[in-house]
Amino acid sequence: MAAGSAIQIPTRLPLLLTHESVLLPGSTMRTSVDSPRNMQLVRSRLLKGTSLRSTIIGVIPNTSDPTSDCDDLPNLHRIGTAALAVQVVGSNWPKPHYTLLVTGLCRFQILQLLKEKPYPVAEVQQLDRLEQFTNGHKSEEELGELSEQFYKYAVQLVEMLDMSVPAVAKLRRLLDNLPREALPDILTSIIRTTNQEKLQILDAVRLEERFKMTIPLLVRQIEGLKLLQKTRKSKQDDDKRVVAIRPNRRISHGSITEDEEEEEDHDDVVMLEKKIRTSSMSEQALKVCLKEIKRLKKMPQSMPEYALTRNYLELMVELPWNKSTKDRLEIRAARIVLDNDHYAMEKLKKRVLEYLAVRQLKNNLKGPILCFVGPPGVGKTSVGRSIAKTLGREFHRIALGGVCDQSDIRGHRRTYVGSMPGRIINGLKTVGVNNPVFLLDEVDKLAKSLQGDPAAALLEVLDPEQNHSFTDHYLNVAFDLSQVLFIATANTTATIPPALLDRMEVIQVPGYTQEEKIEIAHRHLIPKQLEQHGLTPQQIQIPQLTTLGIITRYTREAGVRALDRKLGAICRAVAVKVAEGQHKEAKPDRAEVGEGEDCKEHITEDAKPESISDTADLALPPEMPILIDFHALKDILGPPMYDMEVSERLNQPGVAIGLAWTPLGGEIMFVEASRMDGEGQLTLTGQLGDVMKESAHLAISWLRSNAKRYQLTNASGSFDLLDNTDIHLHFPAGAVTKDGPSAGVTIVTCLASLFSGRLVCSDVAMTGEITLRGLVLPVGGIKDKVLAAHRAGLKRIIIPQRNEKDLEEIAAHVRQDLTFVLAACLDEVLNAAFDGGFAVKARLEHLNSKL
Ligand code: ADP
């Protein structure tokens, strides 16, 4: 058979002795080499050889290499496979060994063993032809039917496998392309056969014999596969029926009670499916869930997607698709709740009641979203909470400050690892009903980022026309948000995107006056703090005068949050004293002082009331309350943080007080100016925005053009104020960016004071925009500004004439304390700002000292 073969193997072959496996021609095998002779073969033949010939070795099956090279060789199997060593991999661990990858070429038979050491070499005779597989037709004719039969079985076998696997598809092609005589060897090495069977095939030198021996192996494999496929199919059917079968099977064990049977019923996925079917989710959602649960059943539990899908389905079941609380809206009761919870804020309460009344009459929520805008700590959040209370609805607060990813609102798609629903859906899951009050806190602090614009995502949520089909990316089905009552809060409308602002009705919540703060403190904050600290009114007494002291000297804010904190600090200090059982009072009569009016009399410097810290040694009956007076205040809160510094700062020309509006409420603002020799430059400091810089330029231009009229001169007596003169304008609190037109009149007044050398009245504050022609234009935030001036103890306020209408909003007692000057032009402003007026052409020779 070897005659005429195209490729000839060497007649002398080094022999690799294998025991564990059988290499057949046409197949590849990986074998481990660690016995002495085989190692020698690899080292001296394979690793050192350089020609192709040197990589051809004879693999002898069924013969183990002795563990020592001193031992004689056992009887060698007569027939082996000539093979090409394709790869040698060496390793020293756990002991030196090589791993050889060999590909079988053809059979050979050993004629004579030539040497045994260091590795066996034999003279061999090639048994198979090693051709380039070109004459397939010839062999087909020779073997005729046998070969045809074999081919059919082979095709049948391969087609039973999954053809989508590339290796199987390749094998199918090989069946057609390879010469038939090569097939028995190749297929034997692929199908499941024992080493013994492989050895028989190797020994079957005649092709016909080989075909005959392989066909039963193929048939056996085909039958095996058929059986396997049948059992797989029935197992799937079984899986479907597993729920029905399981209880019976358990009963057959005889020891299972009915309870346990039921527990078995609680099989997770089945339970989930049951819950899905019984939940009241929308049709669309139900369809999606059932599809997902079908997938879940087929999925092995170890798959990461299993947990994802389960979480998703569990959320879907938990969501309150149809669950709601019953509204118990009664306007009269609502008014009482709002009044009880909050002092003042009449405008806000009125609007909220209107809103609720419309809800009651119309019974739907399609209306604008309320947005409370005001400084921190004025009770925006707590009004939201009260609204929920009056309606008997669940309340949920969603803090939007700093949210910059739209997925925070709309959720992540489920393709993401760690995907989750957005805050809206999460909130609904938390409250468990579909009609809660959602407070969207700090909508003005949403930020944009690369992850999209969360404000845009909120648009859909807040639009009553759209939000009945809000689609969270995670859920991927619509959820009806139309029953949710949304309320938003913000510090300023300036940073709320216009589209969002458009969907909301803004209700301004201005800051409180001192009187209001005192009332809030005594009606709400102090009782709340006492309760939180486990104190009773019998243990601590805070007179109104003390509260006023905290408000003016320890806080400077529009709301009451810092006040609340300070009261908390006082309660803590008292709690320590009470807990120590050491609370004492110097004069028992002072403890009986109840009302603020009386307090004023008692807490004077002469009375020298003793603070809780320095009265420790005087024992008193436990029912005596600890009185918090100024001394106690100083002990607990430290020295006062704010002092009335207004008059001190206004004792030089070139300073004026302006009024500014910030998101935190109104503020008084000192504007300072100085002049020096120079080239007519204007320097502005204090982090000013462009509008403020323009106001400064306008003010200077107007003064320069009116210098003669007012007899204003620079240092050298010239009416050109900037001649050889530089001006520096400074707005203190330099770290805070300031912008807006309302400082115009203040800058003019400040510069007029600088150039005239006269002092601005120390109790005057002002606000207003100016024009180049000297008119005063209206500005915003009058109420907050007036409150700030009132807080700072100023008496006269200059505001633009066209802002007169805004004064109505200001509480009567505040108005009583203040004098308002309504100015239409700058002449009127200057006249009001300086003692004795600022007369045209009135040149004053001396300084008007105010001290
Ligand atoms: P905001 O949301 O405006 O920043 P909060 O609603 O958190 O302020 O209010 C801060 C605290 O002040 C809360 O404890 C609240 O009860 C209290 N508070 C504010 N305004 C009033 C008021 N008018 N009456 C009673 N308590 C108030």
Neighbour tally for 619: CB within 10 Å: 11
CA distances from 318 to 47, 275, 612, 711, 731 (A): 68, 9, 55, 80, 57
User: In one letter, which amino acid is 58?
Assistant: G
Q: What is the mean pLDDT of residues 119-126?
A: 91
CA atoms within 13 A on the CB side of 795: 6
CATH number at 512-579+624-643: 1.10.8.60
Q: What is the mean pLDDT of residues 135-142?
A: 52
DSSP letter for 252, please: H
Distance from residue 593's CA to the centre of ligand 1 (Å): 28
Q: Flag whether pLDDT at 533 surpasses 70.
A: yes
Q: Which of 78-82, 515-519, 712-716, 763-767 has the lowest mean pLDDT?
A: 712-716
Across all residues in the chain, what is the average pLDDT?
Answer: 81
Residue having the nearest C-alpha atom to atom 18 of ligand 1: 379
Superfamily the domain 331-508 falls into: P-loop containing nucleotide triphosphate hydrolases (3.40.50.300)
Q: Helices (DSSP H) in 523-671: which residue ranges?
A: 526-532, 544-549, 561-580, 588-591, 596-602, 630-637, 646-649
Express as a percent the part of the chain with pLDDT over 90.
20
Per-state percent for the chain, helix, strand, coil, to nearest 5: 45, 15, 35
Domain boundaries, the chain: 12-126, 151-223, 279-318, 331-508, 512-579+624-643, 646-833
State residue 435 phi and psi, 5-degree precision.
-130, 50
What pLDDT was estimated at residue 461?
Answer: 85
Q: What is the mean pLDDT of residues 49-77?
A: 84
CB of 444 closer than 8 Å to CB of 375 = no
Between vectors from CA 746 to CA 745 and to CA 748, what angle results, nearest 5°?
65
Known catalytic residues are 742, 785
Residue 166 CA to residue 160 CA, distance in Å, equals: 14
The pTM score is 0.57
| Whether the domain at 331-508 and the domain at 646-833 fall into the same CATH topology | no
Evaluate: CB of 520 within 6 angstroms of ligand 1: yes
DSSP letter for 180, please: G
3-class SS string, 549-592: HHHHHHCCCCCCHHHHHHHHHHHHHHHHHHHHCCCCCCCHHHHC
Q: What is the mean pLDDT of residues 731-742?
A: 71
Long-range residue pairs from 70-75, CB within 8 A, at least 24 positions apart, any chain: 72/116, 73/17, 73/37, 73/113, 73/116, 73/120
Distance from residue 406's CA to the centre of ligand 1 (Å): 29
CB of 584 closer than 8 Å to CB of 616 = yes
CB of 464 closer than 8 Å to CB of 359 = no
pLDDT category, 236, cuts 50, 70, 90?
low
- The atom of ligand 1 lying closest to the CA of 342 is 24
Query: In the CATH hierarchy, which top-level class contains the domain 12-126?
Result: mainly beta
Evaluate: CB of 564 within 6 angstroms of ligand 1: yes
pLDDT category, 191, cuts 50, 70, 90?
confident
Q: Flag whether pLDDT at 623 surpasses 50.
A: yes
Evaluate: CB of 105 within 6 angstroms of ligand 1: no
Q: Which of 488-497, 697-706, 762-771, 841-850 has the lowest mean pLDDT?
A: 841-850
Residue 217 CA to residue 198 CA, distance in Å, equals: 10
CB of 673 closer than 8 Å to CB of 751 = yes
pLDDT category, 146, cuts 50, 70, 90?
confident
Q: How far does CA 571 lie from the centroid of its chain?
A: 37
What pLDDT was estimated at residue 841?
Answer: 57
Query: In the CATH hierarchy, which top-level class contains the domain 646-833?
Result: alpha beta
Residue having the nearest C-alpha atom to atom 5 of ligand 1: 379
Q: What is the pLDDT of residues 169-188, one digit of tens each?
A: 888 888 888 888 888 898 89
Q: What is the mean pLDDT of residues 804-815?
A: 86
CB of 316 closer than 8 Å to CB of 285 = yes
